[in-house]
Amino acid sequence: MPIFKKMYMHFYSIWNLVIDAKYNPLRFIPSLVTQFYVTMVLAIGWAVAFGVALGYYSGIFTNIFAHVGIVFMVFFTASTFQDAERDGKVWWLELKSEWQAQQK
């Protein structure tokens, strides 16, 4: 397989893992309302973080604010999935076993 096709398929699988509700880890949340809420909070948080990051050139305060926003969203996203692992959520355990099986 040519390198560009491999790169595209890798990008496609990452995109599905993050964006597509059929593939991302939030698909295992039993309540559709809760799934929608968590997705919206993450989407709004990332939109704000990157929106502020685009204002990088407007001054040092914006630069600091942008970096804090992006770092906050990285930790917020990670904590969402760590909470699921700590609480032994079924959707997380299924995702983790699926990932480990794929890595073999």
Q: How far is CA 32 from CA 29, 43, 53, in A?
A: 7, 16, 31
The answer to whether residue 66 is domain-embedded is: yes
The answer to whether residue 20 is domain-embedded is: no
Are 31 and 52 in contact by the 8 Å Cβ rule? The answer is no
The answer to whether residue 49 is domain-embedded is: yes
Per-residue pLDDT of the chain (104 residues; tens, 9 = 90+): 678 778 878 877 787 777 777 778 888 888 888 888 888 898 888 888 887 777 766 666 667 778 888 889 988 888 888 888 888 888 778 888 888 888 77
Domain carrying residue 38: 25-103
Length of the chain measured in residues: 104
Percent of the chain predicted with pLDDT > 90: 1
The answer to whether residue 63 is domain-embedded is: yes
The answer to whether residue 56 is domain-embedded is: yes
How many domains does the chain divide into?
1
The answer to whether residue 11 is domain-embedded is: no
Query: How does pLDDT run across 82-96, given as a tens digit for each residue?
Result: 888 888 888 778 888
In this prediction the pTM is 0.49
Are 63 and 56 in contact by the 8 Å Cβ rule? The answer is yes
Which residues, other chains included, contact 1 with Cβ-Cβ below 8 Å and sequence gap of 6+? 9
The answer to whether residue 35 is domain-embedded is: yes
**End-to-end CA gap in the chain:** 21
